[in-house]
Chains A and B, each alone.
Chain A
Amino acid sequence: MNIDKQPVIFIVLATLAILVGTLVTTFIPLFVGTTSVPLDNVVTYKPLEVEGRDIYIREGCNNCHTQTIRPLPFETARYGAPSKLEESAIDRPHLWGSKRTGPDLARVGTKYPASWHVMHMKNPQSMYPQSNMPAYSWLAESKLDFGYTEKKMKVLGYPFIGEDLKAVQGKTELDALVSYLMRLGRELKD
């Protein structure tokens, strides 16, 4: 049989060829437990942190900042302990990133106080004159839209109480973003 005269068979075979590597490297790991980890020790996100994370995604912070520390000596000396699977286990989507125009942020929440982030987000050049980070002062003036907060928590399956939900109201987008940044590096209990 000459498959380059049989387009239907050709498509079927090409699809099968594509699916072998797909199944082994991406589909099977979803189920056989190699990438799933016990979640008992993971601190779930509060509503304000979820909203802050969504601001982080909206502004494309992941284009310049990674959130994964490699198990290499020079890396841990700069950023702290290597990232663990469970630290991002509940993250949808993951925000590991692929480029460090700025530094890694996996443990940035343990490095500076919230007030540092507020100042830095409003005007990075006031703290590092040669920084190339855009200023995000307008986030401080934008009221956070909390219309979908409850639905987001439900879709993501994070437990929450009404009080946490109320805490989102009246906040700015910068408040939310900073509360998310302050969480980075504090994903696990103890």
Chain B
Amino acid sequence: MAENKYDYDAVKGFAISSLFWGIVGLLIGILISLQLVYPQLNFTSWLSYGRMRPLHTNALIYGFTVPAAFSLFFYLVQRLGRTTLAFPGLARVTLYVFNLAIVLAALSLFAGMNSSKEYSELEWPLDIGVVILWVMFSINIIGTIMRRTEEQMYVSLWYILATVVGVAVVYIGNNLAVPVSWFKSYSVYAGANDANVQWWFGHNAVAFVFTTLPLAIFYYILPKVTTAPLYSHRLSIVGFWSLVFAYLWTGAHHLVYTPLPDWIQTVAIAFSLFLIAPSWASVINGYGTMNGQWEQMRSNYLVKFIVLGITFYGLQTLQGPSQAIRAFSALIHYTDWVPGHVHMGTMGWVTMTISAGFYYMLPRVYNTEIYSIKLANLHFWLVLVGQLIYSVTMWITGIRQGAMWQAMDSDGSLVYSNFIQTLTPNYPFWNMRTAGGIIFFAGFLVFVYNLYRTIKDAPSTQKA
């Protein structure tokens, strides 16, 4: 099929939306990082930390990562299926509804309308909007896969289908609520059950937004840019099925030492440790594919993004299961170690992989070349350094604070009995974290500028 028959309107629209909301989400991240040290920066109720933190996470999950997937997945299903998008009109409507929904979501969180459930704070009318958008997206993905002319579905399509199904199941399951008004509802679950369902959702938002989603991109881009065949098809099959099976059992590792019955916690811890295997199946597949290709780390900027991305995925999936173990959880749970962990995954693995995806895809859909490889390299180093500063400082201060909480004299009294004694030593680390975040943000701006120039200078854009 000729290149110009593919439908790329929604691919382009969602990519640009993703970059825009990415900037917004990162800016809010920098503000809330500063607020943690300088409380006077809580300017008004709308800009107070308690409301901004959900805005930060929602903007980057639903405003940046999800539309990046809409964009890249609409591209991948067409290329891997050798067919055109099943419903291009629907895809354009999805784009407009999506951006409207994100604006309304942002306003509602500013105004303090939230369900309190982490990573699905939106109130029920917007939850319904999210579900409708997901159905619109899914119809196009599944419809396009159904009409594919390439019989075999490549690994990326499996991960895309897992994302489509998984997000739907966990998002609906966690957000079931009884409305009181247009702006307020109460969860149908109570107490420990509510917590259990929430973290079943929370951890599987990680599974289906931060794992299967970038893996779909990873498995497509890596062989493409290295021009080396995927190391092992068999490994990818075993890895896929064990991953989608095992992830759903692990949510309660977020609830270690809570009143939730022990058996649920223990099952979650056991499955968390098991998850190392399918996670590393992808890491090994990545490194295996690079076998004999390692010099491309020097010569090919895209390879750097992908290999560092999968490396952080590998580190993340060792660190995560170790955090589930009771003894380690007792030390680091509720401390800044955990945001340090999360941000290695999001700033390292997810954003690196999405960046590689956009760098690969956008010049192709605009029928042009990347504007500047130099800038792409600058982007790479800035986000790498920014993320490392962020994660490492948070791990250090997390262990420090955990140890101070635990410190007891021989007579059984607390060494740091006033909580604030354990809080204030965070401040220098949080300031370093803000610096890391700003460096990362600078890298992201370089990325956006590079893509902006790529699109602006493209022959197709010039004509139009």
Contacts and interface: CB of A to CB of B under 8 A. Distances in A.
A66 B264 contact: no
Interface in B1-58: 35-39, 42, 45, 48-51, 53-54
B153 A5 contact: yes
Nearest to B168: A15
Contact of A134 (B42, B118, B161, B178): B42
Interface string B226-258: 000000000000000100111111111011011
A94 B191 contact: yes
Interface in B130-176: 142, 145-146, 151-153, 157-158, 161-162, 164-166, 169, 173
Nearest to A20: B245
B423 A132 contact: yes
B260 interface: yes
A115 interface: no
B259 interface: yes
A161 interface: no
Contacts of A169: none
Interface string B408-419: 100011100101
Nearest to A100: B334
A15 B252 CA distance: 21
- Of the listed residues B247, B260, B413, the one surrounded by the most CB atoms of chain A closer than 10 A to its CB is B260
Interface residues on A, range: 35 or more
Given A26-B173, A134-B50, A70 B192 contact: no
A83 B251 CA distance: 20
A71 B191 contact: no
Contacts of A54: 184
B338 interface: yes
Interface in B186-226: 186-198, 200
Interface string A1-21: 000110100110011011111
A97 B251 CA distance: 14
Given A19-B169, A34-B263, A59 B51 contact: yes
A89 B49 CA distance: 28
Contacts of A91: 190-191, 194
Interface residues of B, number: 93
Contact of A24 (B117, B247, B249, B334): B249
B282 interface: no
A28 B35 CA distance: 42
Interface string A68-109: 101111110110001111011111111111111111000000
Interface of A: 4-5, 7, 10-11, 14-15, 17-22, 24-26, 29-30, 34-36, 54, 57-64, 66, 68, 70-75, 77-78, 82-85, 87-103, 124-125, 128, 130-135, 138, 148, 151-152, 155-156
Interface of B: 35-39, 42, 45, 48-51, 53-54, 112-118, 142, 145-146, 151-153, 157-158, 161-162, 164-166, 169, 173, 178, 180-181, 184, 186-198, 200, 241, 244-252, 254-255, 257-261, 263-264, 267-268, 271, 330, 334-335, 338-339, 405-408, 412-414, 417, 419-420, 423-424, 427
Q: List the 10 shortest-distance A-B pairs measured between CB atoms, nearest first.
A: A60-B50, A21-B248, A134-B42, A70-B257, A21-B249, A58-B112, A100-B334, A93-B187, A88-B191, A94-B194
